[in-house]
């Protein structure tokens, strides 16, 4: 997960290089207002579910050589299982087991979110996170109906309990493999310094997690709300297109909040 500062004004350089693609359309409080305009929560449409099944099933078949190569790289990089399993929450705050390729050393202590330079991440793990290849096993979660292709990131129960009340509604949504916040805020190990937390190797887990919940989560929810208000099939395909472009070019989409 990525930890960044509050929503910047347009074209404000972000602390880790490059420029942040999220802009506001209603002043400094646009993101706060946005998260309060929650969508009507409901099951995903049959069109989106059909797209989930077709894309996830086809991707698992087509990408099977890639999956095998990544599994081998993870196996030889460090001791531990190839697949990382963790309990997350799906629609209605129901627990499920999320699958990812393991990118961290087994048993290494630290917060539930990662930071830039996190010593727990293995060398292959850094590449897998940068390219999002570590997320590919979640296609199984999509196929099982526990996740969808586009939606908010699935959260852990421990962090979900700490969500601010005004954004906790997002936990009732079906989580996604990708989404506006995941590509425009780059929800990965590209983490800026948390004020007062010190270097990643010595960061206080409690301080890092509190900063994540109080600062990054509302920003993520405001960004995902641009999709969740009208999660049509067309909007879903558009976000998938943004994701593909980001993976190929590294260019995040321009997403306007508020207004």
Can you give the pLDDT at residue 114? 81
Six token digits for residue 50: 């059909």
pLDDT score of 1 more than 50: no
Question: How far is 220 from 104, CA to CA, in rounded Å?
Answer: 24
Q: Judge whether 181 and 153 are in contact, CB under 8 Å.
A: yes
For residues 187 and 71, what is the distance between their CA atoms, to the nearest angstrom? 22
Q: Give the predicted TM-score (pTM) of the model.
A: 0.81
Q: What is the DSSP string of 247-258?
A: HHH--PPPEEE-
Tell me the CA distances in angstroms from 15 to 3, 4, 8, 168, 209, one per residue in order. Answer: 11, 8, 11, 27, 19
CA distance 60 to 251: 25
Instruction: Encode pLDDT of 223-255 as tens digits.
Output: 999 999 999 999 999 999 999 998 888 888 877
Task: Quickly count: other Cβ atoms within 10 Å of residue 252's Cβ.
Answer: 21
Mean pLDDT, the chain, as a whole number?
A: 81
Residue-wise pLDDT for 91-124, tens only, equals 999 999 999 999 999 988 888 888 777 889 999 9
Where is 34: in which H helix or E strand?
A: helix 30-36
pLDDT digits 0-9 by tens, 46-63: 999 999 999 999 999 999
Nearest residue to 23 via CA among 197, 253, 247 = 253
**What is the Cβ-side half-sphere exposure of residue 196, based on CA atoms within 13 angstroms?**
7
Query: Which residues, 6 or more positions from 110, have their beta carbon under 8 angstroms from its beta carbon?
Result: 118, 120, 203, 205
């Amino acid at each position: 997960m990525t930890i960044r500062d509050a929503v910047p004004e347009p074209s404000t350089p972000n602390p880790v290089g490059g420029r942040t693609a999220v802009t506001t359309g209603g002043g400094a409080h646009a993101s706060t207002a946005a998260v309060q305009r929650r969508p009507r929560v409901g099951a995903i449409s049959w069109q989106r579910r059909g797209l989930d099944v077709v894309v996830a099933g086809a991707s698992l078949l087509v990408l099977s050589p890639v999956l095998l190569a990544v599994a081998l790289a993870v196996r030889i990089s460090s001791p531990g299982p190839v697949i990382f399993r963790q309990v997350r929450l799906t629609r209605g705050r129901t627990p499920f087991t999320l699958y990812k390729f393991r990118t961290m050393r087994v048993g290494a202590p630290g917060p539930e979110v990662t930071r830039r330079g996190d010593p727990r991440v293995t060398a292959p793990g850094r590449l897998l996170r940068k390219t999002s290849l570590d997320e590919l096993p979640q296609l199984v979660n999509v196929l099982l109906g526990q996740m969808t292709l586009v939606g908010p990131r699935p959260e852990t129960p421990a962090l979900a309990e700490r969500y601010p009340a005004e954004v906790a509604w997002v936990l009732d949504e079906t989580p996604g493999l990708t989404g506006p916040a995941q590509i425009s805020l780059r929800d990965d190990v590209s983490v800026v310094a948390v004020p007062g937390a010190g270097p990643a190797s010595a960061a206080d887990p409690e301080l890092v997690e509190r900063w994540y919940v109080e600062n990054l989560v509302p920003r993520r929810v405001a960004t995902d709300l641009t999709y969740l208000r009208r999660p049509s099939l067309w909007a879903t395909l558009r976000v998938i297109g943004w994701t593909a472009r980001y993976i190929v070019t590294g260019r995040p989409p321009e997403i306007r909040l508020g207004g």
